[in-house]
């Protein structure tokens, strides 16, 4: 385990001599970026039921990425825990 909750990963197969460092906060930030990318991407030129399926999948993708992007990540003894507050905004403000 490295500094600040990071953990050294196994070597990357494409470059077996390099080690990677896992930072849970960076992972959460990447999910925030993915959520924004889903929100801002356009709809391809498709029609009918396929268009509706695309929109529904984009909504599910955004929701998943946004939830993880809002998480508080903690890495302790090699176990990654994501804490996601799913309460309504009004409930959060009462605390």
- Local confidence band at 43 (pLDDT 50, 70, 90 cut-offs): confident
pLDDT at 70 (0 to 100): 93
- Local confidence band at 6 (pLDDT 50, 70, 90 cut-offs): low
Average pLDDT over all residues of the chain: 81
Residues 6+ apart with CB under 8 A from 82: 28, 68, 71, 72, 73
Prediction pTM value:
0.68
pLDDT at 10 (0 to 100): 53
Q: Which domain holds residue 23?
A: 3-94
Residues 6+ apart with CB under 8 A from 86: 67
* Cα(66)–Cα(40) distance, integer angstroms: 13
pLDDT at 53 (0 to 100): 94
Two structure tokens written together for 11: 């070597």
pLDDT at 95 (0 to 100): 67
Tally of domains in the chain: 1
Q: How many CA atoms lie within 13 A of 3 on its CB side?
A: 0
């Amino acid at each position: 385990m490295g500094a600040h909750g990071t953990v050294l990963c196994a070597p990357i197969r494409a470059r077996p001599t390099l080690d990677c460092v896992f930072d849970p906060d960076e992972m959460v930030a990447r999910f925030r970026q993915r959520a924004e990318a889903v929100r801002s991407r356009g709809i391809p030129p498709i029609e009918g039921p396929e268009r509706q399926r695309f929109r529904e999948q984009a909504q599910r993708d955004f929701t998943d990425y946004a939830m993880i992007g809002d998480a508080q990540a903690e890495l302790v003894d090699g176990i990654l825990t994501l804490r996601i507050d799913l309460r309504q905004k009004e409930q959060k403000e009462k605390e």
